[in-house]
Amino acid sequence: MSQRIIFLTVCGWLCLSVAASAQEAASTQAAVPSAETLKASVAPDDPQGLANLKSVVAWYVGDGKFDELVAYLDSLLKKGFERLPDVYFYRAYARNAQLDSWKKIKNWEGVYDKGPEIKTAMEKDLAQAEKFVAGRPDMALRIAFLRWLIASQDDPEAAAGLFDGLVSKAKSVPAQPDTMALIKEMADSLSSYEDKNLSRRLYEIYASALKASGPGPEQLKKAGQDFVQQKNIYLAKTLFEGYLEQFAGDPEVLAKETVLIADKFAHQGYEEALDPVYAESLYQKAFDLAGQKAFTAPSQYSRAFNLERMKDFEAALKEYGKVLSDYPDFSAPAEVEFRASVLRAYAIKDIKGASSSFEHIKTAYPAGRLALASLYQLGLLSQWEAKNDAAKAYYEELAASAQSQGADMEKDELVLLSRERLQEIEENKPMKYALRLFFEGIFGRAEDAKTQGMSLNVDLTGRPAKAPVNDDIVFTVTTSNPVTGCMMPAYSYEWSGETGAAANIPNSATLTTSYGAQGIKVTHVAVVGNNGLEGVAFEMVQIENQ
Amino acid sequence: MSNPQHRIPAGRRARGAGKKFFPVLCVLLSVVCLLGMAPASASKKKVFIKTLKDGHYQLIVAGKPFIVKGVCYNPIPIGKTHDYDFWNDPEKPWLVDGELMKKMGINTVRFYQPGEDVEAMRRVIADLYKKFGIRTMMGHWLGFWNYPAPFYDDQDFRNKVKTDVLALVEALKDEEGILFWVLGNENNYSFSGKINPWSSERIDKMQDPRQCLLARAETYYTLINEIAREIHRIDPNHPVVMGNGELICLDVANTFAKDVDVVGCIIYRGKTFGNIFKTLKNTFDKPLLLVEFGADAYNAYEKKEDEDMQAYFLEYQWAEIYRNIASNRDGVGNCLGGVMFEWTDEWWKHGEWDAAGWLVHDTESNWSNGAYYFDIKADRNMNMNEEWFGLVKLLPGEKDAPPGQAMNKRVPRKAYYAIREFWKHPSKTSSIKNPERPSPAGRKNQR
């Protein structure tokens, strides 16, 4: 994998552009010149001649003819090209590409036995190339990049210095579009590297040049948006921040614009967020600037939802509260209230407060699915507190409401679940095992010390968090495992709550399911190990009609 | 360690005094010979740990400093499982492996558990040592995989384990290739009750989980100590290593397992061993040998073999080991070397109950470890592929080949060459290695 990336790192700003131009030529049905034709028109003092040389190099490299390429370049040195840096550079490049090709086919003997000798030759060529780079900033940058790339393989200290050199060179070259494009391509090729600082340093130069070229704020915003599409988060952030600078004199406008940018990075539910932590930092910054005035109702909801997905339940509850208190016109108050009630019940463990909110939902929105969901939650909380009469009344009310809403009484999950609970109450049985474990894990039982000392942090995440009816949702449990080396503790996963249409609920950490009716579904899991209950978690996913 | 061979009986000297001159002279000459020669031959044979003036620990083998450049060796062929008697493998894979190991620079192999055929074991140990100069660390599970459970709090069980280990030591102690005895392998992970749980009525009565854990630790470490003492008595030439998972409960071992010579840690912390060297120095000040560490060569996120990833982690790990060996001023100086997990892939490990699976190189992960971060975004974070830890991979041998030609082909991975180069030039690369590795946790990781 890394070989491929390293290969592209070099080829990205060399061969691919050549291949692209070749393809372009082919697509326009122009005759693609042969390598021999191109060779005949290679010239040291003519831009087209140099472009031809680049194409010849690409032909050889594309065919894996590295030794032949080196021989061809050697022959050029005898034909008046001895002061052309490109020849030496391409010779080093060819050798590096040869090493890369060996890595690709896992010819490790070649890489490790012949590599040192090849590297010495490359270093000599690059030193020679460097003597002739006056007036060729692009070549100076390419040489610096290749030097760093070679050193980064086995001499990190030298590589660090060489990268500094590359950055200095990149800063000092004239900010022409072609050199800036080259710098961005280099940064792109480094963006998948472990050390993000490498690409960032080059992106910074590119972004500074872009900003210095005097684009209008809208152009910066558009460029930022383009980078969001490309999922180039760093550059998107940099340009959006540049865009926001224009509003520095007006805190309220700045705050509002900041929130709009934050929305782009926050969880929205349908796909994974670009950077939810960054989004929250922007929301907070906006709030600090202008208070609640910075937020529209949808943005305030986004902030709360983003926090919920980040599992910062307490903060999410607070922000959902603001949606309800500050934005009476928000389009989906029942959803907000339901989410807040679930968080109050199972994250804050405030049964009384949660019950009161669920009561309000069923009264305020009696015709909606969330009224049924609230009745089920009220039943559960009452049953847990051994208020069986109240629980029974809620479950019966749920059945009646479902019927009046036209639900399919033989298939509706909430109806079926409430029937199960009613039967437990009528037969004077405890809640179903998995459900009981979840409630014990959340609220604990004084007489059962084991549930007080759960040792695992359990995370339950459903993906996507918002989906159409009947689409797959995958719930995944991750646990903060104790250190046990390669021996994983054997856990059983007890799923409960709304588990949807999955025919068989697996005793495993993943549950794939779908839901036949819209609404916010509350799903639970309890993780049980050798020592008993180890941890519990819950999750909400939102199902919407097509 | 005391060494009874080096003592001269005092009573014998007293009995010689004041009698006839010639016999006295003979006795004296004998004593001089004993003093002059015996220690020399013994020291040549003896493996021991020297404490240097600066408090660093150095392993001395055959009179010279020795850095353990080891590999765990469990040559189970494709299609066989853990109970395969490789000691009697007619293909003699250790001859091919020994040659490859020698070329790489490996000087030690670690066997987890002895076989049943002592002569076969002697042959393998001798072949590895005499043909390739590779020494053997001989391990023992201490009944950890006993069914239904290892009853370390049961005296009969303890006696049985002790008898088994001492019989092993007695049988192999004179083999030239022996380097260490290794007691246990991550058995301490069972103390919490989450892994391979064991207990006793006495321990169960404690109820408090922490007290139970400490009681199990004490029970186990006292057994280790009893065995270590007995080994020292019958074999003073080879140190005893305790195979411990991470540093867990070594504070308890500090009290109850004082007689082990070396702490052997099994560590999977990715790129760095972190504070392990310093922490051990301050909690249980014994020489440290990393008896199992490494990285797998399968990227569970990208779902393909990833030799770069394995080599990358191993290079960092070795760089840190070398920083902490004796005489390196940059480190703690308590590390004797390391033993990589492992020499070859083992195809039986996933779904070991299914014989058909032994013929398949499974790619399903068996465990999760965030320190190996390149593929941690695999489903459910399950990124460690137990069948893919080999420095060399196995390919099936010729079908229906006659004995002697049916051995699985060995194909060295990148890590084989990378570590070979590291060992050739450790000073060049013992700082941070290859920091600019492309990270697969890039764009594709956005779910």
pLDDT tens string A212-239:
888 888 888 998 998 888 888 888 998 8
A191–B189 C-beta distance less than 8 A: no
User: Which of A399, A431, A463 is where one domain is finished?
Assistant: A431
**Would A255 be classed as within a structural domain?**
no
Specify the CATH number for the domain of residue A405.
1.25.40.10
Instruction: List CB contacts (< 8 A) between B212 and chain A.
Output: none
What integer pLDDT is reported at residue A37 of this predicted model? Answer: 82
pLDDT digits over B378-430, tens only?
988 899 999 999 999 999 987 777 766 789 999 999 999 999 999 998 865 54
Judge whether A272 is closer than 8 Å to chain B, CB to CB: yes
Cβ atoms of A269 and A464 closer than 8 Å: yes
Which residues constitute the domain of residue A363?
A: 343-431
How does pLDDT run across B115-142, given as a tens digit for each residue?
999 999 999 999 999 999 999 999 999 9
Instruction: With respect to residue A15, please indicate whether it lies within any of the assigned structural domains.
Output: no
**Contact at CB, A156 and B434, closer than 8 angstroms:** yes
Q: How many Å lie between the alpha carbon of A540 and the closest alpha carbon of chain B?
A: 18
Does A522 fall in a domain? yes
Mean pLDDT of A359-384: 97
Q: Assess if residue A253 is contained within a domain.
A: no
Q: Is the pLDDT at A451 greater than 50, yes or no?
A: no
Per-residue model confidence as pLDDT tens digits over B213-223: 999 999 999 99
Structural domain contains residue A99: no
With H, G, I as helix, E, B as strand and everything else as coil, classify residue B50: strand
Residues A453 and A536 in one domain: yes
ipTM of the complex: 0.80
Mean predicted confidence (pLDDT) in A23-35: 54
Look at A244-253, A291-300, A372-381, B43-52 and tell me which has the smallest mean pLDDT.
B43-52
- Helical (H) or strand (E) element with B242: strand B240-245
Interface of B with A in 375-414 (CB under 8 A): 379-381, 384, 386, 412-414
How far is the C-alpha of A481 from the C-alpha of A437, rounded, in Å? 19
Give the best residue of B265, B393, B436, B445 to mutate against chain A (max A CB count within 10 A): B436
What distance in Å separates the CA atoms of residue B267 and residue A323, rounded to the nearest whole number? 49
Contact A1 B299 (CB under 8 A): yes
In chain A, residues with a C-beta closer than 8 Å to the C-beta of B186 are 484-487
Of A108, A483, A510, the CB nearest to B414: A108
A457 shares a domain with A423:
no
Of A367, A401, A431, the one marking the end of a domain is A431
- Residue A479: strand pairing partners: A458
Question: For chain A, what is the domain count?
Answer: 2
Q: Please tell me the predicted confidence (pLDDT) of residue A386.
A: 95
Residue A421 in domain: yes
pLDDT above 50 for B259:
yes
* Residues, chain B: 447
What is the model's pLDDT at position A43? 82
Q: A 522-541 residues with CB below 8 A of B?
A: 529-531
Summarised one tens digit per residue, pLDDT across range A474-504 is 999 988 877 888 888 889 999 999 999 997 8
Q: Give domain status of residue A292, yes or no.
A: no
Distance from CA of A364 to the nearest CA of B (A): 37
Average pLDDT for chain B: 87
Query: Do residues A422 and A351 share a domain?
Result: yes
Same domain, yes or no, for A456 and A539? Answer: yes
Q: What is the mean pLDDT of chain A?
A: 89
* Residues A273, A276, A278, A279, CA torsion sign: positive
A412 shares a domain with A363? yes
User: Interior CA angle at B252 toward B247 and B258, to 5°?
Assistant: 95
Q: What is the pTM of this model?
A: 0.83
Give A466-493 as a DSSP string. EEETT--EEEEEEE---S-TT-PPP-EE
User: Chain B contacts of A453, Cβ < 8 Å?
Assistant: 209
Domain shared by A416 and A460, yes or no: no
The string of DSSP codes covering A129-142 is HHTT-TT-HHHHHH
Residue A404 lies in a domain: yes
Average pLDDT over residues A516-532: 93
3-state secondary structure of A537: strand
Q: What is the mean pLDDT of residues B36-60?
A: 79
Which pLDDT value is given to residue B395?
Answer: 94
Q: Which of A431, A462, A484 is the last residue of a domain?
A: A431
Residue B433, chain A, CB below 8 Å: the answer is: yes
- Residue from the list A2, A109, A231 with its beta carbon closest to the beta carbon of B438: A2
Model confidence at A32, pLDDT cuts 50, 70, 90, reads low
A398 & A466 share domain: no
Of B418, B434, B440, the CB nearest to A1: B440
Report the SS3 class of residue A335.
helix
Contact B434 A152 (CB under 8 A): yes
pLDDT tens digits, residue range A78-124? 888 999 999 999 999 999 999 999 999 999 999 999 999 999 999 99
Burial of residue A366 (CB within 10 Å: 0-12, 13-18, 19+) is: middle
A390 and A454 share one domain: no
